Amino acid sequence: MRNVILFESENHSFILLNESEPGEEDGIPSNQYLIMHRGEGVLLDPGGFGVMPRVLAEMLRYIEPPQIKGIFLSHQDPDIVGGLSTWLELCQCPVFVSSIWLRFLPHYGLKDMARFIGVPNEGMVWNDENDFSLKIVPAHFLHSEGQINVYDPISKILFTGDIGAAMMADDEDYIFVDDFAAHIPHIESFHRRYMCSNKAILCWLETIKDLDIQILAPQHGPIYRGKAVQEFFAWFKELQCGVDLMQPFGHFPK
């Protein structure tokens, strides 16, 4: 578990609240983020049920639940949504997720969907009453059919969900990607398998090309900063993945 302030100014901060331990959710560790502005905040991918107590404990170092004004879910996976019912009891705020997943979320036991807001396919801008806005950026099929990213124009950080995610060995522990070439072995197989196609990648890169991005904050693994941001974009642009790589499996064994 770690807590890292990625950006901080007098009235604004972007915080990695928790990087879960490998055993906490019986899978790849996940990152949860808090953006704060003038004493109010939003949560990005608050995590599964197993990490919820730790994420809450870290959040309480900065803010109380009533000051959370929005929760953003990059997509529908359980390591993102699994702890949401408890968060909804604590935070009386709207929850934003791609519109295509609204009918899927009740399967997590979420019976009252009145607070959920479907993000349209083209994305949207979220405006807080406290002179603060976020850009909700479509990232469809990377890997989820309805994935969204969240761009914070003050910190210039793009929360990318599974884009840029890394699968790290238990004995490797670094917070930031400063040597992108050395980091490629941790991301290549994941992206080839879980990203849908190079066409989806190119659509995403076109969507974000005018954003001033200084940091990429994925849902899994280390955070990209400095030259590693543009190096990741260049690598990702050329990646063949998903359906680009599919071949017939042949006949099933008899």
Would you list the domain boundaries of the chain?
A: 4-119+133-241
The confidence score (pLDDT) of residue 254 equals: 67
Residues 6 or more apart from 64 whose CB is under 8 A from it?
A: none
Res 250: pLDDT: 74
- For residue 76, what are its two tokens? 């529908």
* The pLDDT of residue 22: 47
Is residue 93 within 8 Å of 46, Cβ to Cβ?
no
Fold of the domain spanning 4-119+133-241:
Metallo-beta-lactamase; Chain A (3.60.15)
Positions of the chain with pLDDT lower than 50, given as ranges: 22-26
121 CA to centre of own chain:
17
pLDDT at position 78? 83
Rounded to whole angstroms, the Cα distance separating 248 from 244 reads 12
- Confidence at residue 29, expressed as pLDDT on a 0 to 100 scale: 77
User: Which three-class secondary structure state does DSSP give residue 127?
Assistant: strand
Q: How many CA atoms lie within 13 A of 146 on its CB side?
A: 19
**What stretch of H or E contains 85?**
helix 84-90
What pLDDT digit, counting tens, does each position of 11-49 carry? 999 999 976 554 444 456 789 999 999 999 999 999 888
Beta-strand runs (E) in the chain: 4-8, 12-19, 31-37, 40-44, 68-72, 95-98, 116-119, 124-128, 132-138, 148-152, 157-161, 176-177, 215-218, 223-225
CA 104/CA 122 separation, integer angstroms? 20
* 8 A C-beta contact, residue 164 and residue 221: yes
